[in-house]
Amino acid sequence: MCRWAAYIGEPIFLEEIVARPSHSLIHQSQSATLGHTAINADGFGVAWYGEKPEPGLYRDVMPAWSDPNLRSLTATVKSPLFLAHVRASTGTATSRNNCHPFVVGRWSFMHNGQIGGYDDFRRAGEMMIPDSLYCQRKGATDSEALFLIALAEGLEAEPQAALERAVARFETLSRERGTTPHMRLTVAFSDGVRLYAARYASDEHAPSLYHRWSETRRGRALVSEPLEVEEGDWEEIPPGSFCIFDGKRVEISPFEPFRCAARTPENALDAAARRA
């Protein structure tokens, strides 16, 4: 499985998460300890927010440890909010368009996990992406499809409910036409203001996810694996959780895809309007 890391807080150089720690994301691309695959060499990507609402994006198919451009970028770019990912393919091609994070407008999204038997119902999954968003479909991964379907389900108005509906739709397809494990995931995504995340599985084997607030940096890291072995204050996010990170504030609530499966994007927009 893939490894990823995200950060929100006071601006820092990207390398403080991606490259510098003893078990940085680049180190995890060579030697992950909590994933099913130790090597994550099928591409990488970084999305970071700065002066504009839309994030910058750098992705490539090289192993993260062997790209000097990635080292240079992370050493010179500062950001208050960024997402970084190293990929281990679950079957789709190693191409730049299949590398995470994925970006649409001001939204960025990355995923680790699997949707059981996706190749057997890939066409049905593609058909859940509406025409208005299909032009944003650049690659062939289930991760990008999940992102676009969540956008269609109302991610702008109700991020948690929209992601729950998107996950429920895919898990239903897997149960009907795929294989086990039907759904295992951790995701992180952002609108450039807040950082959102979820950890979920249809069985008892949800991928790992941790977070930690740093008083020194005045920011929070969210990671697949702790970045420093000697730091004992990493907090594990429980399976079946949805998280909102906004500055130092953390909000964790149950993530229950089938609770919201029957709701529509129109319902979400109406609910947002009522709250406003």
Question: pLDDT at position 91, please?
Answer: 63
pLDDT at 216: 92
CATH superfamily of 3-275: Aminohydrolase, N-terminal nucleophile (Ntn) domain (3.60.20.10)
Instruction: Pick the catalytic residue from 2, 99, 243, 260.
Output: 2
Distance of CA 175 to the CA centre of its chain: 23
CA distance readout (Å), 128 to 20, 246, 261: 40, 31, 14
Q: Does residue 100 contact residue 111 with C-beta atoms inside 8 Å?
A: yes
- The whole model's pTM is what? 0.91
Q: Report pLDDT for 35.
A: 62
Cα separation of 148 and 103, whole Å?
A: 10
Q: Give the per-residue pLDDT at 95.
A: 84
Q: Taking the chain (276 residues) in consecutive chunks of 10 residues, what is each chunk's mean pLDDT?
A: 92 93 78 65 90 96 86 96 86 82 98 94 96 96 97 97 97 96 97 98 96 95 87 92 96 91 47 38
Residue 87: per-residue pLDDT: 83
- Largest distance between two CA atoms of the chain: 50
Q: CA-CA distance, 257 to 22, in Å (whole number)?
A: 36
CA distances, 228 to each of 16, 122, 246, 250 (Å): 11, 38, 23, 21
What is the gyration radius of the CA atoms in the chain, in angstroms? Answer: 17
Q: What is the pLDDT of residue 199?
A: 98
Known catalytic residue: 99?
no
> What DSSP string runs through 229-245?
TT----EEPPSSEEEEE
| For the chain, domain boundaries | 3-275
pLDDT of residue 43: 86
Question: What backbone torsions phi and psi does residue 171 show, to the nearest 5 degrees?
Answer: -65, -35
